[in-house]
Amino acid sequence: MGRLIVVSNRVQAPGDAGVGSAGGLAMALAAALREHSGLWFGWSGQTSEAFTGKVTTRRVGAVNVATIDLDEQDRQEYYNGYANKTLWPLFHHRTDLASYERSFDAGYARVNERFAAALAPLVARDDMIWVHDYHLIPLARELRKRGVRNRIGFFLHIPWPSRRVLTSLPRHQELVEALLDYDLIGFQTVDSREAFQGYVTDTLGGAVSAAGDVELLGRRTRIGAFPIGIDVEDFRQAAASATAQTVHKRMRRSMTGRKMILGVDRLDYSKGLEERFLAYEQFLADNADQIENVFFLQIATLSRDEVEAYQDLRARLDAVSGRINGAYATIDWVPLRYVNRSYRRDELAGVYRAAHVGLVTPLRDGMNLVAKEYVAAQDPDDPGVLILSQFAGAAEQMDAALIVNPFSREDVAEAIRRGLVMPKAERVVRWRELMDGVEAQGVSLWRDDFLMALLEPRSGGGAPAEPPSPFGERLPSGYATA
């Protein structure tokens, strides 16, 4: 078996500065590659004045990292544009926030071509290629055009939208057809997989085989649901570290006997932060006995702050949090601690453990790793309660949580109360069930299941089965790691 080549928009290898504050995808890929010798390819995050296509390589642990710089136009049209202003809102069912601009389409196509042109010469004959997320849907098509015949799999970290929503995207058909050039397409949930299959049958006129694969124009593409998990062992170590323990003690001291409700998210409209603040306000209004006995800590790391919708959300959150504190705070109690900075992973583990309630209420989310991390960080003898949105992919697996509708303030307010007063015996039973699931479905299983499915024999799908690669068995000379 050849190497594993992972491709994602940004590359943030284990040990790189900023890893951990970069979101779920970076965390998962860092964990997946840790034990695999392989190559991680993507954008450096830097822009140069003119695009050069020069590949920079370095070695981080067992992983070779190869990156290219993009130019400023790429950043605006591909990254801020098509990825974050078109596909992200659309796939999260926020058609009201989605922008459709032809320059974005052009930027998206151009960057996928640039990725393919830079990557193709690095691919050896037996390598498997695993492409991640919505930034790179057309990448397999571009690689195929350049003669790459290797197995190429695609995993979507965010939800696949319903058919009606997707058809509001100009040229949606082209986008989905390009996706069918992969050998295997993985989704987080059964719900997303079914939505995709529904689009292929109802909009494209394709078929779904008994095994769930999709067939269109004589081509078969394998489809699967591969729910992502966390690296439980790594997280346990983080939670047991001296830093986590210090933070935990510090948190407990600052709580002065009050119970803590905790939210940890990137500052993103899909995470339902504004609705969550309003639900907490409702909880305070409904539960006079809880005033001064609880507080809510929301860590909301800034994200995509060049995009207007994120700037608007930030301004609204500033206003709502200010209003809640203005109305309810006393001289020695702040009901809502709202923090925009990001924390180290081990610090975060200590904060999770100190929280009586983990509040995870996205309006729509591919999976949501915070829910799993919160569970993994708990004290087995005295665990906290997870409140989880029915619209997080994680809800397909974590039904021992208190499942809520994040659009209903009253539902969420009630669940907060229930979580805070839940007897220990019930907390332990629920937590045990959740923890068994988190342990059984960790990130290694996700990676192994996906890669095993990718290695299954082809049956007429993906690329025509005709090696050899034009680049032979070895990396081209000149490909060196620093």
Query: Catalytic positions, please?
Result: 157, 365
Binding test (CB under 6 A) with ligand GDG, winner from 85, 141, 157, 259: 157
Alpha-helical (H) ranges within 205-307 are 232-240, 242-255, 273-286
Residue nearest to ligand GDG (CB): 24
For the purposes of burial, counting CB atoms within 10 Å of the CB of 217, is it exposed (0-12), middle (13-18) or buried (19 or more)? Answer: exposed
Q: How far is the CB of 479 from ligand GDG (least distance, A)?
A: 29
Under DSSP, is residue 267 helix (H, G, I), strand (E, B) or coil?
coil
Q: Is 366 in the site for ligand GDG (CB under 6 A)?
A: yes
Binding-residue total with ligand GDG (CB under 6 A): 26
56 or 246: whose CB is closer to ligand GDG? 246
Closest CB to ligand GDG among 345 and 409? 345
DSSP 458: P
Region from 37-45, 54-62, 143-151, 369-377 binding ligand GDG, contact rule CB under 6 A = 369-377
Helix intervals (H) in 230-358? 232-240, 242-255, 273-286, 308-328, 345-354
Q: Residues 122, 165, 178, 264: which binds ligand GDG (CB under 6 A)?
A: 264
Task: Please give the radius of gyration of the chain, using alpha carbons only, rounded to the nearest integer.
Answer: 23
Q: Which is nearer to ligand GDG, 157 or 172 (CB)?
A: 157
301 forms part of the interface with ligand GDG (CB under 6 A): yes
Q: Do the Cβ atoms of 183 and 152 come closer than 8 Å?
A: yes
User: Rule CB under 6 A: is residue 345 a binding residue for ligand GDG?
Assistant: yes
Instruction: Show the tokens assigned to 92.
Output: 């999260």
Residue 348 sits in the site that holds ligand GDG (CB under 6 A): yes
Beta carbon of residue 228, minimum distance to ligand GDG (angstroms, whole number): 4
| Cα–Cα distance measured from residue 128 to residue 156, given in angstroms and rounded to the nearest whole number | 17
Q: How far is the CB of 52 from ligand GDG (least distance, A)?
A: 30
User: Does the footprint of ligand GDG cover residue 156 (CB under 6 A)?
Assistant: no
For ligand GDG, the closer of residues 85 and 141 by Cβ is 85
Give dist(CA 341, CA 21) in Å, integer: 9
Give the separation between CA 108 and CA 102, rounded to whole angstroms.
Answer: 10
* Only segment of 37-45, 95-103, 337-345, 418-426 that touches ligand GDG (CB under 6 A): 337-345
Which range in 206-214, 239-247, 284-292, 367-375 contacts ligand GDG by CB under 6 A? 367-375
What residues between 13 and 32 interact with ligand GDG by CB under 6 A? 20-21, 23-25, 27-28
Q: Does 365 bind ligand GDG (CB under 6 A)?
A: yes
Q: Which stretch binds ligand GDG (CB under 6 A): 177-185, 290-298, 342-350, 435-443?
A: 342-350
Q: What is the footprint of ligand GDG within residues 171-230 (CB under 6 A)?
A: 228
Cβ 289 to ligand GDG shortest distance, Å: 32
Chosen residue from 9, 64, 282, 368 binding ligand GDG by CB under 6 A: 368
* Binding residue for ligand GDG, selected from 12, 221, 298, 342, defined by CB under 6 A: 342
Please give the Cα distance from 121 to 147 (Å, whole number): 10
**Long-range contacts made by residues 430-435, C-beta under 8 angstroms, separation at least 24?**
430/383, 430/385, 430/386, 430/400, 430/401, 431/375, 431/378, 431/380, 431/383, 431/384, 431/400, 432/380, 433/400, 434/375, 434/386, 434/398, 434/400, 434/401, 435/375, 435/376, 435/378, 435/380
The count of other CB atoms within 10 Å of the CB of residue 203 is 15
Amino acid making up residue 360: V
Q: Where does residue 314 rank: exposed (0-12), middle (13-18), buried (19+ CB within 10 A)?
A: middle
Q: Taken in order 401, 407, 411, 417, is the CA torsion positive or negative?
A: positive
123 versus 443: smaller Cβ distance to ligand GDG: 443
Q: In the chain, what's the furthest Cα-to-Cα distance?
A: 73
Q: Does 232 bind ligand GDG (CB under 6 A)?
A: no
Task: Give the residues lining the site for ligand GDG (CB under 6 A).
Answer: 20-21, 23-25, 27-28, 157-158, 228, 264, 266, 299, 301, 342-345, 348, 365-370, 373
